[in-house]
Amino acid sequence: MNDMRNRLIEMIEAERLIVIVRGVGQDQLLPLAEALYDGGVRLMEITYAADGTIADETVAEQIAMLASHMTGRMTVGAGTVLTEKQVQLTSDAGGRFIISPDVFPDVIRKTRALDMVSIPGALTPTEIQRAVRAGADFVKLFPASTFGTDYIRAITAPLSHVRLLAVGGITPDNLGTYRSVGIRGFGIGGGIVQKSLIDAGDYTAIAAIAKQYRDAISAKE
């Protein structure tokens, strides 16, 4: 295994928090990243636009800007990755991990070929195993809250070898419950990246919310 990739896998397992950034303006990204960093966030995902409203190349430019600005402080990756082209663009931009809403073996294999960490999204045991067999490092369980902790407890019993991350409906208050049923980490979007606060320029509030999640995770160690 590539040493850098191995270190990132260990970092994700240790940090247990990836913040999902979607649809944030170019001029707001750097102050947002600084606020997230101040709140204790060390992993940040910039999403591609599946509907094409934002060009893939524009998203890659944002990743490159953030990866350069946050060098040594935060690791940046891409989300909503649906194509091998997006994987390549992310790698070229300095992104280090790839998150998808689905299991697409070609995307997983491309990610691994470029020594990035692969985190596809899945829901059923069959999908989860398909992702692992294709080379996934983690599997994003999505939407986690729709099916809840009873479902997760049931599937983690036979799939205890899989590193599962939960995305969707996670709060500081329920985070510990998800950890107790086998979830290894979390992807948090709108719970932290609140558009109203960004538009108001209240990055201090965003840092405080990020810290609430960080504190909840640390409290369950």
Q: How many residues does the chain have?
A: 221
Helix H or strand E encompassing 11:
helix 3-15
Instruction: Name 99's bridge partners.
Output: 119
> What number of H helices and E strands is found in the chain?
10, 9
Catalytic site includes residue 140? yes
Type of residue at 216: A
Catalytic site includes residue 221? no
Q: Which of 61, 110, 140, 221 is catalytic?
A: 140
Q: Which of 15, 45, 57, 211 is catalytic?
A: 45
Q: Is 11:75 a contact under the CB 8 Å cutoff?
A: yes
Helix H or strand E encompassing 165:
strand 164-167
Indicate which residues carry an active-site annotation: 45, 140
